[in-house]
Structure 1
Amino acid sequence: MKGPAIDLLSDRAREIFRLVVESYLGDGAPVGSRTISRLPGLSLSPASIRNVMQDLEEAGLLAAPHTSAGRMPTDSGLRLFVDAMMQAAEPHDEDKRAIERQLTGEGPIEDALNAASALLSGLSACAGLVMVPRREAVLRQFGFAWLSSSQALAVLVGADGSVENRVVDLPPGTTPSMLIEAANFLSAHATGRTLSEAQQWLARQISEGEHELDEASRDLVARGLAAWSRDPADRPVLIVRGQANLIDDHAAADLERVRQLLEELEGKSEIARLLDSARAGAATKIFIGSENKLFSLSGSSVIAAPYRGPGGHVVGVVGVIGPTRLNYARVVPMVDFTAQTLTKLMQ
């Protein structure tokens, strides 16, 4: 249910709503009217507060769990709080120092990305997420394995030692010796090139008439490269650190939610697709609970920000995932500052 706009709430309702949300985000427990009445600066009886909380519940901003007389914010309530009431500007000085100390730029950028994921996990007490820059595999060796008269297995060995394979449909009349010839040609001429570079090189050779292969073998080489180049730039590479942080004291009462969230993290492609949607934004994005179909069961939130490479192009996303009771005011600027720091390292 979509809640009302912030300016439709009375000053009293707005203040009580703010106190309920901040108290809930602080300890993760539903908040009762008596607890609110004891907070400084609010001269209202528990009965008056209870009436306002009932109105906020009817507006879809608060909910009352079956196990408690207290209230907690709904996903709509959290969205209203984050968008219209939360005060978040600069990260805490200690968070900034920790981020700058860990992300120094010394060593490969991959080390910094791993460090960023672990760092955010430790600072936020959630799981840290980093979607790394999309990079095409660089060829070191290429081979074909005969499967049948109509299919072969194209085996690629990357410069990083990775080994992957694809099933390739063979044109009629292909022989095992033709596969060997095509594989030797690729290993000899494509080593050190990315897949797209190898395709471009092959196209130039054919157009200039300088190729060493007959038409059938050329077709095999083209099929092999095409089988690999269909998806390497689109395959998400996601670094996840700190899943154990998701199993905290509150998780004991909600083990099914935690189990669902851990399963979602195992299916990295779905999380990566969500993070990929943050690439288009200029600032940090916040995904809260059931607002996103992926988290409709686990009730989780993701805070994500894009980081940029040379030329200002977005190359990846950094963020955290955890329960909806995240300390948004602290974590949002922390994620944003980490993205800014990674951007500086990649220039």
Structure 2
Amino acid sequence: MTAPPISDLNDRARDVFRVVVESYIDTGAPTGSRTIAQLSGLNLSPASIRNVMQDLEELGLIASPHASAGRLPTESGLRLFVDGMMQALEPNAEERSTIERQVSQPGPVEAALAATTAALSGLSACAGLVMVPKRELVLRQMSFVPLSSDKALAVLVSEDGTVENRVIDLPAGVNPAALVEAGNYMTAILSGLTLEQARAKIEREIGEERALLDAVSRVLIERGLAVWSEDGDRRPVLIVRGQGRLIDAADAAQLERITDLLDDLEGKQEIADLLDSASAGDSTRIFIGAENKLFSLSGSSVIARPFRGLDGRVVGVVGVIGPTRLNYARVVPMVDFTAATLARLMGRS
């Protein structure tokens, strides 16, 4: 059911509806007329409040989980509240400092993204998400470390400080000198190139017999570049942190839904597609429950915002995922602030 416009509600209906929503966000429990009379200061009798609640229920904004229970906001009601009634609470100084500290830490960009996502998860009590485009590694230093007579560790250091290791099979007859020669050659000739550029140059150099290498060293270099390039297209573009917080925040009645949500998070491609859809605009996108078919079972909400680089292009999307009763007024500005902070990080990278 589509929620009515906020202008269709009179002041009394708005006040009662606000109490129902805010009580649900705070406790997760249904709210009855007597509780509203005590909490709201509306100077209305429980009977009058019940009449208002009946009207709100007929509009599809609240519902009763049991015949004798109080009322909970529906997903349509939450949408109306978020779009038309929510009063945002900007992050405080401590929360801003926590996020900025993670973004500013030295090291690879991916590590800062993961740390920032974990910080956002902790502050929001949700799972934190960030998605960035695949980043092409630019080579700075390469080496080979012997592990056994037939295996070695191929070590790649990129220009942003990322260190990656891959185990490769050694060709017959290899010796430590060949490992050193291959590493030195790769560092000297291929530094400053992407993996794709490095492979093309190696193939050209060897094909034209300009590479002053013996056969064993050539094989080592080819295998070293191949093992890095093979999984280049599979580099993770989606970072998820804090899934355990969803379980910690759940009560017994929610555990089944949270289990469904955790299963949803395992389908990273679907989550990535959802975040990608949020990158189309400039503002924060809020997906509530069944508004997205991915979360029709788990009854979850996603808050996501794109962030841009110095050239104005979208370079990623950051957000959180949690139960529909998350504190939208607090979390939406927090996601906004994190997106702005990550934009500064990506501008420096």
1:3: which partner in 2? 3
1:243: which partner in 2? 243
2:72: which partner in 1? 72
Conserved 8 A contact 1:308-1:314 = yes
When structure 1 is superposed on structure 2, of 78-87 and 311-320 the one drifting more is 311-320
Could you say if the C-alpha distance between residues 333 and 232 of structure 1 is closer, same or farther in structure 2, counting changes exceeding 3 Å?
same
Q: Scaled by the length of structure 2, what TM-score is found?
A: 0.74
SS in 2 for 1:311: coil
Could you say if the C-alpha distance between residues 304 and 68 of structure 1 is closer, same or farther in structure 2, counting changes exceeding 3 Å?
farther
Is residue 300 of structure 1 aligned with residue 300 of structure 2?
Answer: yes
Matches within 5 A, 1:100-119: 100-119=100-119
1:84: which partner in 2? 84
Q: Distance in 2 between matches of 1:289 and 1:327?
A: 14
When structure 1 is superposed on structure 2, of 259-268 and 242-251 the one drifting more is 242-251
Matches within 5 A, 1:188-227: 193-194=193-194, 197=197
How much has 1:251 moved relative to structure 2?
3.3
Q: Distance in 2 between matches of 1:31 and 1:299?
A: 19
User: What are the ranges of 5 or more consecutive residues in structure 1 without an aligned counterpart?
Assistant: 142-155, 165-186, 213-220
SS in 2 for 1:39: helix
Conserved 8 A contact 1:13-1:52 = yes
How much has 1:91 moved relative to structure 2?
2.1
How much has 1:198 moved relative to structure 2?
6.2
Alpha-carbon displacement from aligned partner over 1:105-128 (angstroms, at most 9, x marks no partner):
433222221111110111011111
How much has 1:328 moved relative to structure 2?
0.4
Q: How many residues align?
A: 297
Conserved 8 A contact 1:37-1:43 = yes
User: What are the ranges of 5 or more consecutive residues in structure 2 without an aligned counterpart?
Assistant: 144-153, 158-162, 168-184, 210-221
Conserved 8 A contact 1:30-1:68 = no
Q: Distance in 1 between matches of 2:249 and 2:99?
A: 27
Could you say if the C-alpha distance between residues 104 and 191 of structure 1 is closer, same or farther in structure 2, counting changes exceeding 3 Å?
closer
Q: Distance in 2 between matches of 1:114 and 1:303?
A: 18
1:38: which partner in 2? 38
How much has 1:293 moved relative to structure 2?
0.6
Could you say if the C-alpha distance between residues 263 and 157 of structure 1 is closer, same or farther in structure 2, counting changes exceeding 3 Å?
farther
Is residue 124 of structure 1 aligned with residue 108 of structure 2?
Answer: no
Root mean square deviation of aligned Cα: 3.3
When structure 1 is superposed on structure 2, of 40-49 and 192-201 the one drifting more is 192-201
Q: Scaled by the length of structure 1, what TM-score is found?
A: 0.74
SS in 2 for 1:88: coil
Matches within 5 A, 1:1-347: 1-66=1-66, 69-88=69-88, 90-136=90-136, 161=164, 193-194=193-194, 197=197, 237-248=237-248, 250-347=250-347
How much has 1:100 moved relative to structure 2?
2.5
Could you say if the C-alpha distance between residues 137 and 108 of structure 1 is closer, same or farther in structure 2, counting changes exceeding 3 Å?
closer
4+ residue segments displaced more than 6 Å: 156-159, 187-192, 198-203
Could you say if the C-alpha distance between residues 71 and 312 of structure 1 is closer, same or farther in structure 2, counting changes exceeding 3 Å?
same
Conserved 8 A contact 1:132-1:316 = yes
2:171: which partner in 1? none
